[in-house]
Structure 1
Amino acid sequence: MEIDCLQKGLPLNRNNSLLKLSPFLDDEGLLRISGRIQNSDIDLPGKDPIIVPAKHHVATLIVRHYHEKSEHQGRHITEGKIRSSGYWLVGGKRLISSILHHCVVCRKLRGKFVEQKMCTLPQDRLTPCPPFTYIGLDTFGPWNVRARKTRGGQANAKRWAIIFCCMVSRGIHIEVVEEMSTSSFINALRRFIAIRGPVKHIRSDKGSNFVGAVKELNLNVIDVEDKAVKDFLSEESITWTFNPPYASHMGGSWERLIGTVRRILDNMLRNTDTKHLTHEVLTTFLAEACAISEPATTGTRI
Structure 2
Amino acid sequence: VVATEAGASSLPTPTICNIIESSTTLSALKRSVAGLNAAPGEELTPSLLRAGLDCCIKMAQKSAYASEINALAKGNQIGRDSPLRKLSPFLDPDGLLRVGGCLQHATMNEDAKHPVILPFHHKLTRLIIVNTHESRFHASTERTLYEVSATYWIVRGRRTVRQVVNSCLDCRKRHARPLAPEMAPLPACRVTPFQPPFSNVGVDYFGPLHVPVKRSTEKRYGVLFTCLVTRAVHLELANTQDTDSCLMAWRRFV
Output the TM-score relative to the length of structure 2: 0.65
Alignment counterpart, residue 97 of structure 2, candidates 19, 31, 45: 31
Q: CA deviation at 1:137?
A: 1.3
- Structure 1 partner of 2:180: 115
Is 1:63 matched up with 2:129? yes
Is 1:192 matched up with 2:241? no
Is 1:6 matched up with 2:72? yes
Q: CA deviation at 1:12?
A: 4.6
Q: Call closer, same or farther: CA 1:32–1:170 in 2, change over 3 Å.
A: same
Q: Deviations over 1:3-48 (max 9, x none)?
A: 3443444445566543333322212332211244321355353332
Q: CA deviation at 1:139?
A: 0.7
Q: How many residues align?
A: 187
Output the TM-score relative to the length of structure 1: 0.55
Instruction: Supply the distance in 2 between the matched residues of 1:168 and 1:95 (Cα, whole angstroms).
Output: 54
- Structure 2 partner of 1:258: none
Instruction: Supply the distance in 1 between the matched residues of 2:189 and 2:75 (Cα, whole angstroms).
Output: 84
Bigger mean CA offset, 131-140 vs 107-116: 107-116
- Structure 1 partner of 2:148: 82
Question: Percent of aligned positions with the same letter in both sequences?
Answer: 37
- Structure 2 partner of 1:161: 222
Letter in 1 for 2:207: G
Letter in 2 for 1:192: F
Instruction: Supply the distance in 2 between the matched residues of 1:61 and 1:124 (Cα, whole angstroms).
Output: 60
RMSD between aligned residues: 2.3
Letter in 1 for 2:158: K
Instruction: Supply the distance in 1 between the matched residues of 2:107 and 2:222 (Cα, whole angstroms).
Output: 78
Is 1:174 matched up with 2:235? yes
Bigger mean CA offset, 44-53 vs 15-24: 15-24
Secondary structure class of the residue paired with 1:168: coil
- Structure 2 partner of 1:133: 199
Secondary structure class of the residue paired with 1:45: helix
Give 5+ residue unaligned stretches, structure 2.
1-66
Is 1:22 matched up with 2:88? yes
Instruction: Supply the distance in 1 between the matched residues of 2:107 and 2:245 (Cα, whole angstroms).
Output: 87
Give 5+ residue unaligned stretches, structure 1.
149-153, 194-302
Larger relative contact order, structure 1 or 2 (CA cutoff 8 Å, min sep 6): 1
Instruction: Note the 1:146-157 alignment, pairs <5 A.
Output: 146-148=212-214, 154-157=215-218
Letter in 2 for 1:183: D
- Structure 1 partner of 2:159: 94
Instruction: Supply the distance in 2 between the matched residues of 1:52 and 1:30 (Cα, whole angstroms).
Output: 10
Letter in 2 for 1:162: V
Instruction: Supply the distance in 1 between the matched residues of 2:236 and 2:153 (Cα, whole angstroms).
Output: 71
Q: CA deviation at 1:112?
A: 2.2
